[in-house]
């Protein structure tokens, strides 16, 4: 009986109250069956040797009543109490698990949960790392409450843009990660560029201020057998490149160093003199 109950606790779902009652009924039925088996094995031999204080028919009747009323009822009540205890434990565990995987400000997944999801993603997807441009200046000028409002607003726009098969997370600070799945690369890039343009085109209202922001993004492709850490590093380099090229843009890893070099020159970076930004880009790309 203990082993059977253990199996029910391991494999049964106690998240819903209905399952608790089903569990109690099963345990009550099992107690009645076991009581009946014990009665069949003990009462006839006792009657055969004349050790019963009553007739065999009375003994069987009393045993049946005892098994139903005592065995079934007591077992059912105890199982019900245990089931509700497991129910509360399951809910508490689920809530704790949710909190441990959720960013409290944005309501999105946190970095830990996003990393786990990234490891499980296989092929036909893109990893995007978004970063709010000049976020520190927003905090310094408008205050941290407005900075929090910006994070919340960007979280909402990312969630509404990408469908349920995509995964959106706040990686920390003003940085967000998105795994865009289930579309051709061109369609994924169109949606990624679309959310960047949407964020740049409007203003976020907070504490009486209209705060205009932009985001930069770096994109890398998730293909079969490709190391996830390499994908993340490539997306991070593409994000840095988007920042170096002037911000408010999305850069895909395939755009390459040639595009970066010409973009830096067009933005007035001293490429020949190996200025700070160009030097950092060269270092990021291993040159």
Residues recognised as catalytic: 174
Which of 61, 78, 65, 93 has its CA nearest to residue 25? Answer: 78
CB atoms under 10 Å from CB of 134, counted, come to: 15
CB-CB contact of 162 with 270 (8 Å): no
Report the sign of the C-alpha dihedral through residues 176, 146, 153, 109, in that order.
positive
What are the tokens at 119?
């490891």
H helix or E strand, kind and range, residue 267: none
What are the tokens at 2?
């203990």
Residue 44 forms beta bridges with which residues?
A: none
CB-CB contact of 214 with 133 (8 Å): yes
Q: Is 252 left (phi over 0), alpha (psi -120 to 50) or beta?
A: beta
As a whole number of angstroms, the distance between CA 258 and CA 270 comes to: 15
What are the tokens at 213?
């922001």
Report the sign of the C-alpha dihedral through residues 81, 87, 92, 96, in that order.
positive
DSSP 203-261: EEEETTEEEE--EEEEEEEE-TT--HHHHHHHHHHHHHHHHHTTSS-EEEGGGHHHHHH
What are the tokens at 28?
């009550």
CB atoms under 10 Å from CB of 205, counted, come to: 12
């Amino acid at each position: 009986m203990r082993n059977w109950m253990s199996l029910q606790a391991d494999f049964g779902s106690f998240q819903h109250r209905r399952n608790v009652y089903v569990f109690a009924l099963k345990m009550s039925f099992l107690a009645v069956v076991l009581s009946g088996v014990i009665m069949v094995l003990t009462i006839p031999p006792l009657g055969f040797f004349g050790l019963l204080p009553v007739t065999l028919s009375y003994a069987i009747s009393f045993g049946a009543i005892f098994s139903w009323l005592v065995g079934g009822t007591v077992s059912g009540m105890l199982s019900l109490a245990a089931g509700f205890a497991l129910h509360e434990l399951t809910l508490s565990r689920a809530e704790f698990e949710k909190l441990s995987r959720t960013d409290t400000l944005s309501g999105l997944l946190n970095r830990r949960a996003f990393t786990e999801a990234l490891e499980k993603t296989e092929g036909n997807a893109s990893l995007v790392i978004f970063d709010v441009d000049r976020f520190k200046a927003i905090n310094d000028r408008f205050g941290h409450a407005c900075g929090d409002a910006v994070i919340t607003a960007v979280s909402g726009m990312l969630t509404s843009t990408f469908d349920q098969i995509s995964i959106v997370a706040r990686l920390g600070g003003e940085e967000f990660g998105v795994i865009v799945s289930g579309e051709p690369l061109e369609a994924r890039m169109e949606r990624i560029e679309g959310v960047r343009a949407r964020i740049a085109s409007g203003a976020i209202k907070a504490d009486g201020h209209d705060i205009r922001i932009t985001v930069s993004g770096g994109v890398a492709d998730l293909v079969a057998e490709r190391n996830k850490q390499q994908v993340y590093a490539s997306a991070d380099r593409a994000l840095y490149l988007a920042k170096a090229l002037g911000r408010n843009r999305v850069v895909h890893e395939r755009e390459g160093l040639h595009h970066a070099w010409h973009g830096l020159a067009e933005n007035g970076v001293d490429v020949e003199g190996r200025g700070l930004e160009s030097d950092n880009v060269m270092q990021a790309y291993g040159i």
